[in-house]
């Protein structure tokens, strides 16, 4: 094993679901998020529409796709879907081999965008996803960083309104517990974190965490867009 590829486990002094998650989530559900959209991501979403992508397609999102390897695997596994890998990092996305975005290869597309703006725009455009993968989102493990975790972010209800089979994977059990808790509170489901086996579709971060001996968790839920108030 190459030492540089060893990753430290997530460290936090938070041990269970954050005590403020319930009130934050209730606030996000009861009041619309009014923060201005991220202008470059609005442009990116427009470019995707100009390229002919719309909610009429059978769409799968690889949100936070990093270097885009998982997007390619998903596109191969789901030939009847349009798989869109989205990341805000140009240096990571460039490793797909693309020089400009959106970049398309068969049924895979990569786009540089800020997810919170992209999800809001997709929801406003009436998209209903076939599938949504969120692999290894940044954990923001300090208790004071709660609002940066996706399930405590104001965009979370819109992310769930996009619908489809949602799968989140992470290497911090607390994040998985919170994510499942938040999904269940919004959708009335009974999702639970499961230990991840050896899935056919994985990602570079997954490989790195597995090689470092971390326990990996997944939360899978079928999102009924209409269940989100």
Interface with ligand SAM (CB under 6 A) = 64-66, 87-89, 92, 114-116, 135-136, 138, 203-206
Q: Where are the beta strands (DSSP E) in 88-125?
A: 103-105, 108-112
Check whether the bond before 102 is cis (ω within 30° of 0).
yes
- Tell me which residue has tokens 């994977």: 169
- In the complex with ligand SAM, which residue's Cβ is closer, 167 or 224? 167
- In the complex with ligand SAM, which residue's Cβ is closer, 96 or 116? 116
- In the complex with ligand SAM, which residue's Cβ is closer, 100 or 226? 100
Strands 82-87 and 103-105: unpaired
Sheet with 131-135, edge to edge strand ranges: 103-105, 108-112, 82-87, 59-63, 131-135, 164-170, 217-223, 194-195
- Give the integer Cα–Cα distance in Å for 225 and 229: 9
What's the min distance (Å) between Cβ of 208 and ligand SAM? Answer: 8
What's the min distance (Å) between Cβ of 81 and ligand SAM? Answer: 18
Residues 6+ apart with CB under 8 A from 184: 190, 191
- In the complex with ligand SAM, which residue's Cβ is closer, 111 or 188? 111
What's the min distance (Å) between Cβ of 186 and ligand SAM? Answer: 20
- In the complex with ligand SAM, which residue's Cβ is closer, 114 or 187? 114
What's the min distance (Å) between Cβ of 171 and ligand SAM? Answer: 9
What's the min distance (Å) between Cβ of 154 and ligand SAM? Answer: 12
């Amino acid at each position: 094993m190459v030492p540089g590829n060893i990753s430290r486990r997530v460290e936090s002094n938070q041990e269970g679901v954050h005590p403020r998650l319930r009130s934050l989530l209730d606030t996000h559900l009861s009041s619309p998020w009014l923060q201005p959209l991220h202008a470059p991501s609005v442009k990116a979403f427009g470019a995707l529409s100009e390229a002919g992508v719309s909610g009429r397609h059978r769409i799968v999102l690889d949100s936070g796709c990093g270097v885009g390897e998982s997007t390619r695997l998903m596109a191969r596994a789901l030939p009847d879907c349009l798989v869109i890998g989205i990341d805000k990092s140009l240096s990571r996305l460039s490793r797909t081999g693309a020089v400009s975005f959106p970049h398309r290869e068969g049924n895979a597309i990569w786009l540089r965008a800020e997810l919170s703006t992209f999800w809001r725009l997709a929801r406003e455009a009436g998209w209903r996803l076939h599938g949504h993968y969120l692999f290894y989102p940044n954990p923001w493990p300090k208790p004071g960083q709660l609002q940066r975790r996706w399930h405590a972010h104001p965009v979370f209800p819109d992310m769930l309104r996009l619908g489809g089979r949602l799968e989140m994977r992470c290497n911090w059990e607390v994040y998985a517990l919170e994510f499942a808790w938040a999904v269940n509170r919004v959708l009335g489901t009974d999702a639970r974190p499961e230990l991840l086996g050896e899935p056919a579709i994985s990602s570079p971060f997954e490989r790195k965490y597995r090689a470092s001996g971390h326990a990996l968790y997944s939360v899978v839920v079928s999102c009924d867009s209409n269940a989100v108030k």
